């Protein structure tokens, strides 16, 4: 059966400009980081992606290494594009990234021109696209001149393989320098993608969010639910079928320490008083900042997607509620910060 998008798909979603650019993103975007790899079949993928687009989610976020295995999320999305989404290409914002390890040898990761542009070509091939809407440098590379990394992004724009470019997980100083270099090349730094949640506030602590606001760079938060911790499922001891099941995965034991889970319990009471799920409260909090263009969600099933989209019913937070949230989470911060080798605590 051929997919046909809901004619009412733009009736309820809210959109925000990415910084001072003309690009608008839905306040809720869908990422294919860990849930659309080799074990995901086409019908279940299309159920989620189709429902998202029917709800006005126009932005789908990928990277070369998303899976597992690496590359498989782009391959699956390429099938969706070919079979169902092709008529809607001009309504979609599709992003990908390069920075993490993809192939053996010295040219398979980080920020060289060789790696970034080779990776972009591979990503386009996997997705069956002529261009992506956003191409990111996935992480800062301290061993490659930033002029080279940003020059590769600028080249992708000039040759039409990317409409916009961005950076991900860059601290404040590197964010400012990347902006300066791209501006000298006549290219806008349209967006920054950092991790950000009520339990992970590194972009506030190192002033990256303030720099983006000052420079007119939009922001899209990944892990706004702190790897699922802010769904409350770990408070019930649930690990089976979650990221907590894999000791070598992206969720670490320190993320579900008793002090963190205690903060989650307190947030649950605030959410209940607002008539929201805990997930919806967490997304409302991320989106409260004017610098934040969108919250990037990851879901395993349709019910989770619907819960996330329910945030649209109550985005506003009062000053009193924000103060209560700050008090509830004061002792439960994950204290993360980015480094070229990954996330440190």
Question: Of all helices (H) and strands (E), which one includes residue 218?
Answer: strand 218-222
Helix intervals (H) in the chain: 42-54, 72-80, 113-127, 146-158, 172-184, 202-205, 208-215, 258-274, 278-286, 302-309, 319-329
219 three-class SS: strand
Question: Of all helices (H) and strands (E), which one includes residue 191?
Answer: strand 189-193
Question: Tell me, what DSSP letter sits at residue 303?
Answer: H
Q: Which residues contact 154 (CB under 8 A, 6 or more apart)?
A: 165, 182, 185, 186, 187
Q: Which residues on adjacent β-strands are paired with residue 95?
A: 61, 134
Counting Cα atoms < 13 Å in the Cβ hemisphere of 60 gives 28
Q: Where in the chain are the domains?
A: 15-344
pLDDT, tens only, 61-72: 999 999 999 999
Dihedral sign, Cα of residue 278, residue 280, residue 281, residue 282: positive
pLDDT for the residue numbered 223: 97
Task: Return the number of other C-beta atoms located less than 10 Å from residue 324's C-beta.
Answer: 17
Counting Cα atoms < 13 Å in the Cβ hemisphere of 259 gives 9
pLDDT for the residue numbered 344: 45
pLDDT for the residue numbered 249: 54
pLDDT for the residue numbered 89: 98
pLDDT truncated to tens, each residue of the chain (345 aa)? Answer: 889 999 999 999 999 999 999 999 999 999 999 999 999 999 999 999 999 999 999 999 999 999 999 999 999 999 999 999 999 999 999 999 999 999 999 999 999 999 999 999 999 999 999 999 999 999 999 999 999 999 999 999 999 999 999 999 999 999 999 999 999 999 999 999 999 999 999 999 999 999 999 999 999 999 999 999 999 989 876 555 554 445 455 566 678 899 999 999 999 999 999 999 999 999 999 999 999 999 999 999 999 999 999 999 999 999 999 999 999 999 999 977 776 666 443
Cβ proximity of 60 and 91 under 8 Å: no
pLDDT for the residue numbered 126: 98
* Level-2 CATH architecture, domain 15-344: Alpha-Beta Barrel (3.20)
Q: How far apart are CA 11 and CA 17, in angstroms?
A: 18
Output the pTM of the full model.
0.94
Counting Cα atoms < 13 Å in the Cβ hemisphere of 280 gives 21
Q: Which residues contact 156 (CB under 8 A, 6 or more apart)?
A: 116, 117, 120, 135, 162, 165
Helix intervals (H) in 64-145: 72-80, 113-127
């Amino acid at each position: 059966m051929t997919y046909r998008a809901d004619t009412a798909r733009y009736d309820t979603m809210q959109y925000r400009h990415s910084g001072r650019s003309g690009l608008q993103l839905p306040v809720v975007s869908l990422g294919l980081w860990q849930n659309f790899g080799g074990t995901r079949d086409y019908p279940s993928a299309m159920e989620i992606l189709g429902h998202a687009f029917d709800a006005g989610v126009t932005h789908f976020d990928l990277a070369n290494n998303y899976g597992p295995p690496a590359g498989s999320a782009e391959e699956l999305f390429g099938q969706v594009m070919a079979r169902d989404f092709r008529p809607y290409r001009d309504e979609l914002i599709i992003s990908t990234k390069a920075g993490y390890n993809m192939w053996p040898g010295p040219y398979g990761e980080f920020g060289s021109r060789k790696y970034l542009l080779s990776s972009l070509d591979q990503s386009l091939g996997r997705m069956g696209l002529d261009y992506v809407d956003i191409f990111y440098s996935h992480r800062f590379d301290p061993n490659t001149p930033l002029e080279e990394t940003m020059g590769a992004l600028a080249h992708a724009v000039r040759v039409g393989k990317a409409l916009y470019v961005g950076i991900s997980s860059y601290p404040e100083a590197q964010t400012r320098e990347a902006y300066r270099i791209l501006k000298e090349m006549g290219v806008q730094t349209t967006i920054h993608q950092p991790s950000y949640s009520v339990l992970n506030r590194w972009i506030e602590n190192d002033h990256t969010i303030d720099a983006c606001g000052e420079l007119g760079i939009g922001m899209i938060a990944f892990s706004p639910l702190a790897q699922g911790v802010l769904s409350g499922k770990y408070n019930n001891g649930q690990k089976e079928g979650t990221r907590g099941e894999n000791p070598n995965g992206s969720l670490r034991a320190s993320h579900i320490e008793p002090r963190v889970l205690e903060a989650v319990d307190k947030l649950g009471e605030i959410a209940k008083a607002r008539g929201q799920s805990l997930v919806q409260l967490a997304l409302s909090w991320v989106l409260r900042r004017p610098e934040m263009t969108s919250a990037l969600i990851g879901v395993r099933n349709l019910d989770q997607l619907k819960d996330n989209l329910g945030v649209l019913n109550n985005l506003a937070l009062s000053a009193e509620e924000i103060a209560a949230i700050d008090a509830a989470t004061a002792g439960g911060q994950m204290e993360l910060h980015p480094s070229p080798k990954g996330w440190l605590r």
